[in-house]
Amino acid sequence: MTVFFGVFLLTLLLIVAIAIVRADNLFVAVMLGGIFSLLMATIFFLLDAPDVALTEAAVGAGISTVLYLAALALTAEREKRHTVHQIKALVVVTTTALLVIFATFDNVQFGDPTAPVHVHVGPWYLENTQRYMDIPNVVTAILGSFRGYDTLGELFVVFTAGIGVLFLLGTRPKKDTEAAETLIPQQSETSEGLRNYLIPRLTGRLLVPIILLFGLYVQFHGEYSPGGGFQAGAIIAAGIILYALLEGETAALRVVPQWMLMALMAGGALLYGMVGVVGMLLGGQFLDYSVLADNPVTGQQLGILLIELGVGMTVSGVLLSIFHAFAARDKY
């Protein structure tokens, strides 16, 4: 069965990819991008990677589609048909592809347990997670503690993206702002968003709380089931963005004001860092959670819980402020 599913999904994936590249209308391309991410999520799930599938769905399908659409709203909808240096591109691309395929000629078996990948470091994690952390989800154990430094770096990548977008879009745009003031009719508080469309308003009212609840569940249930800071942050951000779409951007800003976004972003990163520093102060190494509590195992669990919270806070803060930065753009 999984063989059939694998082949089907992969071919579908390639077809969607080619469709994206050939699509002239950028809106179509973005929608296909969403489908592309969902296909990737299912393939990941098929390959026993539930955590990654959840992230790909939440981040790939959810947030990136929202960001692309926000950007499209501000720029051209349709791509001008102008493929510039086609032959050069084909040549470069085929050489890279040949180089990659050349690598697979050797004895690369798919899924055989004796491959070096599964012999060396991998199994050590599987045995020792129970001993050190006693939590079922090994991926969260590695993410949180064994390779916690990677996740700290990861957190700061998101933080940099947030900083970058706020910095770039912080300036007042060059568009002749005086004309813009007069042209766009002052959107009254009520006419914003989809308030007076019946269906979205009703379903939205129902959906938003459920999404936020699910987000919190994913956040704090990361050790037992697939989930964790990144996924939770993305889901919570998606929930609030849905609320913004329904009630209008100013309403959403009243719910989660700008200073709180900045506090969330910086607070999360600081929380993660401080957990590491506290570990150092208590005599362990940087990011060593076993010293956090008297019993090392509870210390590890406490550490993982805290850093997942930090990650969740920062990711949601960053994604929301990016959305607001884009959304605020077309007001001017």
Partner 1 sequence: MDWLGVYYYWAFAALLMIGFYAVIAKSNLIKKLIGLSMFQSAVFLLYITMGKIDDGTAPIYHEGISQQIFSNPLPQVLILTAIVVGISTVALGLGIIVRIQEEYGSIEEHEILGIDER
Partner 2 sequence: MSAWAQHLPALQVGVPLLTTPIIVLLRPHGLSWAAATLTSCFTFFIAVMLTVAVLQGQQVQYSMGAWPAPHGIALSVDAFSAILLLIVTGASTVALLAARQIVNAEIEASRQPLFYTAWLLALAGFVGILVSADAFNIFVFMEISSLASYVLIAGGSDRRALPAVFKYLVMGTIGATFYLIGIGLIYLMTGTLNLADMEVRIREVSDQKPILVAAGFITIGLALKAAVFPLHLWLPNAYTYAPVPVTVFLAACSTKVSLYLLLRFDFFLFQPNLLNHNIQFSYFIMPLAILAILAASSLAMFERNLKRLLAYSSIAQVGYILLGASLVSLIGLTASVIHMFNHALAKAALFLCVACLATRCANLRIDSLRGVAKQMPWTMAAFLLAGLSLIGVPGTAGFISKWYLITAALDEGLLGVGLIVVVAAGSLMAVYYLWRVIEAAYFGKTNEGAEIVGEAPLGILVVCWLVVLSNYYFGLAPSLPTTLSSAAAQILLGQVP
Q: Which residues bind partner 2 (CB under 8 A)?
A: 99-100, 102-108, 115-122, 124-125, 128, 145-150, 152-154, 156-157, 159-161, 163-164, 166-168, 170-171, 262-263, 265-267, 269-270, 273-274, 276-277, 279-280, 284-290
Instruction: Report how many residues bind partner 1 under the rule CB under 8 A.
Output: 104
Taking residues 48 to 77 in sequence order and writing x for each that binds partner 1 by CB under 8 A, - otherwise, the string is xxxxx--xx--xx--xx--xx-xxx-xxx-
Contact partner at residue 36 from partner 1, partner 2, none, CB < 5 to 8 Å by partner kind: partner 1
Question: What is the distance of C-alpha 25 from the center of its chain?
Answer: 25
- Asked if 143 interacts with partner 1 (CB under 8 A), we say yes
Contact partner at residue 133 from partner 2, partner 1, none, CB < 5 to 8 Å by partner kind: none
Minimum Å gap between C-beta 72 and partner 2 is: 17
Minimum Å gap between C-beta 190 and partner 1 is: 28
Going by C-beta distance under 8 Å and a sequence separation of 6 or more, which residues neighbour residue 74?
326, 329, 330
- Asked if 17 interacts with partner 1 (CB under 8 A), we say yes
Contact partner at residue 69 from partner 2, partner 1, none, CB < 5 to 8 Å by partner kind: none
Minimum Å gap between C-beta 322 and partner 1 is: 5
End-to-end Cα spacing for the chain: 55
Q: Contact, 316 vs 233, CB < 8 A?
A: yes
Minimum Å gap between C-beta 162 and partner 1 is: 8
Q: Contact, 201 vs 37, CB < 8 A?
A: no
Contact residue for partner 1 among 236, 240, 315, 327 (CB under 8 A): 315
- Evaluate the CA torsion angle 176, 182, 184, 187 in order and state its sign: positive
Pick the closest to residue 284 from 297, 296, 298, 302 (CA basis): 296
Contact partner at residue 82 from partner 1, partner 2, none, CB < 5 to 8 Å by partner kind: partner 1
Contact partner at residue 280 from partner 2, partner 1, none, CB < 5 to 8 Å by partner kind: partner 2
Minimum Å gap between C-beta 127 and partner 2 is: 11
3 state DSSP class of 25: strand
Rounded to whole angstroms, the Cα distance separating 252 from 247 reads 7
Residue with the two structure tokens 């690369």: 108
Q: Contact, 143 vs 228, CB < 8 A?
A: yes
CA distances from 40 to 60, 233, 289 (A): 9, 20, 34
